Amino acid sequence: MREITVEELKKMMAERTSGKMYQVGEIELKDADLSGWDLRCMDFSLSTFRNVCFDKANLSYSSLENAWCEECTFRGANLKYANLKTVAMRYNDLTDANIEGADLFAAVLEYAKLDGIIHNEETKWFKLHCPETGPFLGYKKCFGNRLVQLLIPADAKRTSATRNSCRCSKAKVLTIKSFDYKEQYEEAWSLVDENFVYRKGQWVEVLDFNEDRWQDSTTGIHFWLTREEALAY
C-alpha cells in the first residue's frame, strides 16, 4: 500500500475515461478534504482513508470494497450503486448519505452515524435480513456437529447487521439432529459459550440481548434462516 497526496489523487481523476471504472489500487490517504469532489467510478478497493472528509462527494458507482475508513465523514455523500462490501466504517458519519442501490454486504457499521441515510429496495444488505414481525424458523450449528432447529416467536427481539447471520432474544428448541439427519439428540452446546445449552422442547432466552443491530458479534442467540447456511458456518 502506498501513501498518496491530494494532488496525486487529482491526477488520477484526470485520467478517468467516462463511464469506466478507474483502478486506483491499494492506496492510503489521510488528513484530506474531498468534500464535494466528483469521485464517480473510482475503484478504492483495499485502500485506507484516515481522517478524510467525503461530505457531499459523488462516489456513485465507485468501489470501497474491503477499504478501511478511520475517522472519516460522508455527510450528504452520493454513494448510489457503490460497492461497499466489507468496507470498515466504524464511527464514521454518514448523516444524509444516499446509498440507493449500493451493496453493503458485510460492511462494518458499528457506531456509525446513520441519521437521515437514504436507501431503497435496491440497496443490498441494509434492510433487516430476518422477518421483522411474526414467528419464523431459524437454524444454528452447535458443538459436535449438531444442528438445532429453532422457533423464533413473534414477541422475540430480532436483529441482523449486513450479513445473512441473525440474532434473537429468545427461541424454542424444536429439534436437534446430526448433519445427516440420521441421529436425534436431546441437547446441544453453543460453539461460543460452552455454558449455553439448547435442550429439545425447551425455551432459551438471552436477558441481556443487545438491540444494536450493527453490532454483529455480541449478546443474543445467533442463527441462520436456512439449514444450508447453518451447516456451512
- The full set of domains in the chain, from first to last, is 1-127 (2.160.20.80), 136-232 (no CATH)
The string of pLDDT tens digits covering residues 44-63 is 999 999 999 999 999 999 99
Output the pLDDT for position 233.
Answer: 87
Quick one: pLDDT at residue 163? 96
pLDDT, residue 149, reads 98
End-to-end CA distance of the chain: 32
Cell of 227: 439449514
In the predicted model, is pLDDT for residue 194 greater than 90?
Answer: no
Q: What is the rounded average pLDDT of the residues 185-200?
A: 92
Burial class for 43, CB neighbours closer than 10 Å (0-12, 13-18, 19+): middle
pLDDT bucket at 15, cuts 50 / 70 / 90: confident
Q: What would the mean pLDDT of 62-88 be, rounded to a whole number?
A: 98
pLDDT over 90 at 98, yes or no: yes
Residue given cell 445427516 in the structure block: 180
The reported pLDDT for the residue numbered 53 is 98
In degrees and rounded to multiples of 5, residue 28 shows phi and psi of: -125, 130
- The HSE-up count of residue 143 (CA atoms within 13 Å, CB side) is 12
Contacts 24+ apart (CB under 8 A), 80-87: 83/45
Given this model, what pLDDT does residue 195 score?
Answer: 85
Is pLDDT of 114 > 90?
Answer: yes
The predicted pLDDT at position 72 comes to: 98
pLDDT band at 102 (very low <50, low <70, confident <90, very high): very high
Q: What percent of the chain has pLDDT over 70?
A: 100
Q: How far apart are CA 196 and CA 80, in angstroms?
A: 42
pLDDT confidence of 112, banded at 50, 70, 90? very high
Longest dimension (CA), the chain: 65
